[in-house]
Amino acid sequence: MGLKYGTTITTMNQPLQQGSPAGYNGTDFDLLGSSPDNADAMALLTGGQAGGAQRVLAESVGFNGTTMDRIRSAADNADGVAVVTLGTLRVFAEHMAFNGTSYDRWRTNQDNIVLANLSGATTSGQSADQTNYNGRGCKVFINITALTGTSITFTIQGKDPVSSTYYTILAGAAQSGTGTVLMSVYPALTASANVTVNDVLPRTWRLSWVISSATVTATAGGIVIL
């Protein structure tokens, strides 16, 4: 006599109906049947469950460093996708560009660059070197909220990759009071002394400042533009 679907086979010498496949569940064998529904979010069935068929799924899994996790589909279609820590497979067509040594991700406009945050500063200085991945130019916005004494002068500089020497791209005017200053570097701009220059932004650049007999509180932020 043949076995019905849902029956657990406990030994290998029990008869199977012709054309009825079985699957090993880790301990014994379960008869496999077709799934009656065709839908997402299918409920889980245990092996050999009476009255129900065993579902056979083609399941993708990913290694998490220790064990295997099932791969979930991503339900969103948006920018700024949050990072998921477990089991979601997102496929991105990612634009990469060769920098001469390795590959960098392609960036859009970058507007979160902090170049200076001065509080009662009395000495000259400079920002850390900034990496321009694929921008053509930049804008630097300076906000001087307190200044006593003579002046402060800001300069956008590039860096020679061979000698590591810094050179001037755009030198601003000396500022002797509070207020805002906007400096722009971009190809095909109409040049304006101390404010705008028709030039490209190199891969490595920075903002420097010279304080002449003054105490200064100011911030400077940068935007790299495609």
Domain extent listing, the chain: 1-57, 110-225
Query: Domain spanning 110-225 has what CATH number?
Result: 2.60.120.1110
Using CA atoms, how far apart are residues 45 and 63, in angstroms rounded to an integer?
A: 24
Amino acid at the residue 56: V
| Contacts with 181 (C-beta within 8 Å, 6 or more apart), sequence order | 141, 142, 144, 154, 172, 173, 175
pLDDT band at 79 (very low <50, low <70, confident <90, very high): low
Does the pTM surpass 0.85? The reply is: no
Percentage of the chain lying above the pLDDT 90 cut: 51
- Predicted local confidence at residue 66, as pLDDT: 79
pLDDT digits (tens, 9 = 90+) for 148-202: 999 999 999 999 999 999 999 999 999 999 999 999 999 999 999 999 999 999 9
Positive or negative: CA dihedral 112, 158, 183, 97: negative
Coil/strand/helix, residue 36: coil
